[in-house]
Chains A and B, each alone.
Chain A
């Protein structure tokens, strides 16, 4: 194949800088993507440790290990670290690695901006994690930072807000880069409706990011001025309204939920066709469904706050709008099922994670539908049922998709194959323990256990113990992931260029590992056509 030879020839004179300069001054999409992924993985274990502290304390009724204030810090920090430090950077890392390759570009459109948007992150999280060591302890008012409670924070309060601002800037810059890259850097002939689903979902995600991260910045800035400069945006005593913060926060917060899940839809739409050896069913309706979900995400925010006391019309509107989201989401699930139907399925590790996504995300979708029903939500709200729901969509949802993506593309990144047997073990341990961990939380919530409590009435003891056992099983199983990756990088067998026999897309037209500057000259129309068999 001419292109391969062409690309391989370039491989020899990469001119990549060596040593620390290669990373600190990097403008290369792959190196920056790698840094994002390593950062996300680190934060995943930091946030995971916090989760295990939470589950250790909840293993039995009574307070055994931590003070309630520190427990509250753990719930807040676990969420902040996992959302902003693990899931989101992992998606940006995957976008960095794959978008230029998948659209036939040499790199991201704005490489220096790319460098900046990554290097803001370590500093943002040094500040955020630094709050663990300041007087008064880390933020303990939940990741949602509701005033007036959040305003009671000590020295950690301005640090948290500064960290969120930095993190938001990083996200917006990254998102702008993605939009500009996709809009301007596509190879000739790669029109929008030929783009791989991962690129499509990321394009919509990037628009969501640009739209809502500034809203979060505004909300936390108002918190800051309420605390330090005597304003009273959210202080009732000064004519403000604590509920307004919740409206602003969730106007950011709900699209944020989709920011974390839309790229997962993209990944699953790449993996399932590959291992079904059949093109994605209903590609165009997948694109439209993603766009519909993106739009709807802006008009459902108040379903996070049905109990604050809203007018009847408002409650009805947000209930119906929320229920409507299940239509495009259903279309996606049906399309994935139809893709597998009459396929030729095999069950390599990426496919296993994608299938677990399909089953378990659907369960999270069901509990989401239940939560949309306002009268029932008056019972579910702020109970463990909610905790079970969002962990089902975020862990076997977003996280499994990220892990699936790593197992899917790792051979392309490093040019070596990983230990598939070990990865299969990783899958089974994760899939079993994640259910042991989160399924009982449905029961706990329905039976009346509120979330964010460090200690509980004795009738909740049994299922909490099960959940904690699942948590430790799940947490320790994840150590397999870095082990498998390191083993692959060091001593994996040489991987084929088209690692998976059913794989389509431009990334598989490049050699493994992909050359430092992905597509120095655009792929030919024939190569694009071969890749576009979605």
Chain B
């Protein structure tokens, strides 16, 4: 038994040390042990909540596992322990170990409810993007404009992921986490996503944004995020709800630009759309 305990403890300790060391371990495999703190207002609250519950569990774990280990070590028959067969019941102890967990649960649930209420507050959003999921790609439409496009798995990942392709995934940059056209959003802006799906249920998940939401045919779901102004950059995620054969191959990439860069990007996109419309309206003369 002690060996299992040691194993479990060792794993927990490794986990603890890694978590104390902080979440800054970008892409290396062994160091990826914990939830990312993320780059949005909500993701940090969610991370803090996760850590709070985790430490509660560690504290309870130290008590419970400590008790178990103590009992196993101290009351061994081989060391001459004699059973006290009269010790079968204690109303007081049982009330205590019913009430203390209740108190701990209340302590956990209050901050959890608070964060949840923040998450559900989708008022005052400044930009809305409609996200439609398909087997197996994403469509992004910037509401109020004509800008919209599909986002699919990048070509080099796609050829490397074929059965026995002979391509080493390690040689493909951002293997399975790269797309042809990323979603583009501004930092420091409350962005609302309206999620739906065309065929089966999918889920839109970028861990750095703190959460995921299902995209369900026939329903429109809502989620929002606000990336810190200082955190412009590229963030990656994946479909998180089993959606058929290529569920593992519909990544999500989000480019977070500064507000000014985003406006410029959006204007350029609008111009492209307009040009295309004009081109279509005017029959080509040969």
Contacts and interface: CB of A to CB of B under 8 A. Distances in A.
Contacts of A5: none
Contact of B200 (A67, A149, A307, A360): A149
Would you call the interface of chain B mostly helix, strand, loop, or mixed?
mixed
Contacts of A375: 42, 45-46, 49, 112, 115-116, 119, 211
Contacts of B176: 61, 455-457
Interface in A54-73: 61-64, 66-69, 72
Interface stretch (A18-26, A94-102, A362-370): A362-370
Contacts of B32: 443-444, 447, 459-460, 463
Interface stretch (B96-104, B268-276, B278-286): B96-104
B230 interface: no
B124 interface: no
A42 interface: no
A242 interface: yes
B217 A236 contact: yes
Contact of A432 (B3, B222, B243): B3
A379 interface: yes
Interface in B56-108: 57, 60-61, 64-65, 67-68, 71-72, 75-78, 81-85, 87-90, 93-94, 97-98, 101-102, 105, 108
Nearest to B81: A344
Interface string A316-343: 1001100110110011011101101111
Contacts of B216: 236, 242-243, 308-309
A345 B88 contact: no
Given A331-B98, A342-B87, A378 B203 contact: no
B212 interface: yes
Contacts of B205: 382, 448, 450
Contacts of A72: 242, 244-245, 247
B170 interface: yes
A452 B242 contact: yes
B155 interface: no
A320 B112 CA distance: 10
A459 B75 CA distance: 46
Interface string B96-132: 0110011001001100110111011000000000000
B166 to A, nearest CB: 9
B46 A242 contact: no
Interface stretch (A179-187, A278-286, A401-409): A278-286
A215 interface: no
Using C-beta atoms within 8 Å of the partner chain, give the interface range for chain A. Answer: 35 or more
A448 B207 contact: yes
A241 B248 CA distance: 25
Interface in A376-392: 376, 378-379, 381-383
A166 interface: no
Given A282-B94, A309-B214, A343-B75, A453 B247 contact: yes
B33 A447 contact: yes
A360 B65 CA distance: 10
Contact of A345 (B29, B72, B177): B72
A309 B248 contact: no
B163 A152 contact: no
B233 to A, nearest CB: 16
A338 B93 contact: yes
Contacts of B248: 68, 450, 452-456
Given A281-B89, A362-B64, A381 B3 contact: no
Interface string B226-242: 00000000000111111
Q: Point out which of A146, A312, A376 has the most chain B C-beta atoms below 10 A from its C-beta.
A: A376
A8 interface: no
Nearest to A289: B98
Contacts of A463: 29-30, 32
Contacts of B24: none
A459 B29 contact: yes
Given A64-B164, A278-B87, A362 B65 contact: yes
A356 interface: yes
Contacts of A62: 160-161, 165, 167-169
B64 A337 contact: yes
A476 interface: no
Contacts of A460: 29, 32
Contact of A379 (B15, B60, B61, B212): B212
A240 B161 CA distance: 36
B221 interface: yes
Contacts of B33: 443, 446-447
A280 B150 CA distance: 62
A191 interface: no
Nearest to A308: B214
B162 interface: yes
Given A370-B54, A428-B3, A340 B36 contact: no
A457 B249 CA distance: 10
Interface in A415-462: 428, 431-432, 435, 439, 442-444, 446-448, 450-462
Interface in B13-71: 15, 27-30, 32-36, 42, 45-46, 49-50, 53-54, 57, 60-61, 64-65, 67-68, 71
A379 B44 CA distance: 12
B109 A453 contact: no
B84 A346 contact: no
Q: Point out which of A344, A435, A460, A461 has the most chain B C-beta atoms below 10 A from its C-beta.
A: A344
Given A68-B245, A340-B72, 16 more contacts: A61-B170, A68-B249, A236-B217, A278-B85, A307-B203, A309-B219, A327-B102, A334-B94, A340-B68, A342-B83, A344-B83, A379-B50, A379-B210, A383-B240, A453-B247, A456-B248
Interface of A: 61-64, 66-69, 72, 140-142, 146, 148-149, 152, 235-237, 240-243, 276-285, 307-309, 312, 315-316, 319-320, 323-324, 326-327, 330-331, 333-335, 337-338, 340-347, 352, 355-356, 358-360, 362-363, 366, 369-370, 373-376, 378-379, 381-383, 428, 431-432, 435, 439, 442-444, 446-448, 450-463, 502
